[in-house]
Amino acid sequence: MATYQGIHGRPIRAVSSDLSGAAAEGEVWYNTASNVLKVMYPFTGWATADALVTASRGGGTCGTATLALYAGGTTGPAGISGADKTEEYDGTSWATAPATLTQRRTEGCMFGIQTSAVIYGGRINDGNPGPTYTTIATEEYDGTSWSAGGNYPLIVTTSGGAGVLTAGLGATGYTTPGDPGTDTPVSAEYNGTSWTAGNPVLTARRDVNVGPQGTQTAALLIDGRVATTHQSVTEEYDGTSWATAGSTTATQRCAMVFGTQTSALSGFGTQGGPVPSVVCNTYDGTSWSVAPSGGTARYFIGGAGTSSTTGLAMGGAILSPAPGRVALVEEFSSGGVEVKTISTS
């Protein structure tokens, strides 16, 4: 005897663990372990991922969406106080690594991969509120420990970087204490041992968007601010010189970025004053376009990822509640699938 179920479809399955993979797209099932009904559906946008171990802002970040690195940052009392911690992400969860930076630093710049990274510049102190000192020191990470590298050509904070340990790039940043202070046009290349001065950037600036953004010979420099003026200017580096590229859709600073010179995503940060943003943009090597907005507005945030289709936004600062540091991590995926619990809300 024919049944409605037989004519119109199979019953909802009861399983003890969630379905996975693209083949399960569109499936609905009942999870007997959690006693909830679930569905898998196409998804492009931001979703909450496992949080950092320690709430932090202004840390150095690099790596991929499944093998990310976070080091330093501000984790202590109010004020600019440096941290020496290192955290690693395995695609599922964050863990504190045994290795610590040789100097506590915040607002430094990092590039590379999880097992081979460089951090340079930033503000140094003992982790307590009070006087802070900028540094020329560079440190290298081998996946186990940090060690001293070649000194950067000048004192700099909140600058931009790209590349890997043996072929890296540093560019622009804030070099004179005080506000509005002075921004430097200096860029330099790193060979794993020492820095060599390169051609200057076209627009000297600070608070540029932080995260891996290309290679030593194909890099991006995005947004930031010139003294007190926020920027939407993008520059491209070809290994020799800088050239003006497309502008982002909003002026942003202290935002995050991940990807390459032809496939990047930038966002969050602040568009003016201390008010954080969730605005995001993607870059295709020619122009910027609006991307799905992030979930929680924050600035002094870091990024990790190898293209505009998948990456992480890590930590950062919010306005309220004080002291404003968060451990929140959001993951961006494009053209993927997501499992969601079916509810009445």
Residue 134 sits in a domain whose CATH number is 2.120.10.80
Asked if 285 and 234 count as a contact pair (C-beta separation under 8 A), the reply is: no
Quick one: 173 and 32 in the same domain? no
Q: Which residue has the higher pLDDT, 253 or 27?
A: 253
- The gap from C-alpha 192 to its chain's centroid, in whole angstroms, comes to 22
pLDDT tens readout for residues 81-133:
789 999 999 999 999 999 999 999 999 999 999 999 999 999 887 655 555 78
- Give the pLDDT confidence score for residue 1 in this predicted structure: 53
* Residue 141 exposure: Cα atoms within 13 Å on the Cβ side: 34
Quick one: 142 and 11 in the same domain? no
* Residue 97 exposure: Cα atoms within 13 Å on the Cβ side: 23
pLDDT tens readout for residues 211-244:
677 999 999 999 999 988 899 999 999 999 999 9
Quick one: 208 and 273 in the same domain? yes
Residue with tokens 């907005």: 293
Quick one: 306 and 233 in the same domain? yes
- Cα–Cα dist 345/341, whole Å: 10
- Cα–Cα dist 213/109, whole Å: 12
Quick one: 81 and 215 in the same domain? yes
Quick one: 170 and 132 in the same domain? yes
Total domains in the chain come to: 2
- Cα–Cα dist 98/75, whole Å: 17
Element spanning 8, H or E: helix 4-8
- Which range is least confidently modeled, 40-54, 192-206, 286-300? 40-54
Quick one: 126 and 88 in the same domain? yes
| Tokens read off for 84 | 């020496």
What pTM was computed for the model? 0.86
Strands 36-49 and 329-341: antiparallel
Quick one: 189 and 268 in the same domain? yes
Quick one: 246 and 128 in the same domain? yes
Check residue 320 and report its DSSP letter. Answer: S
Query: What is the pLDDT of the chain when averaged over all its residues?
Result: 89
Quick one: 215 and 340 in the same domain? no
- The gap from C-alpha 11 to its chain's centroid, in whole angstroms, comes to 43
Quick one: 208 and 69 in the same domain? yes
Quick one: 149 and 64 in the same domain? yes
Domain span at residue 129 reads: 52-327
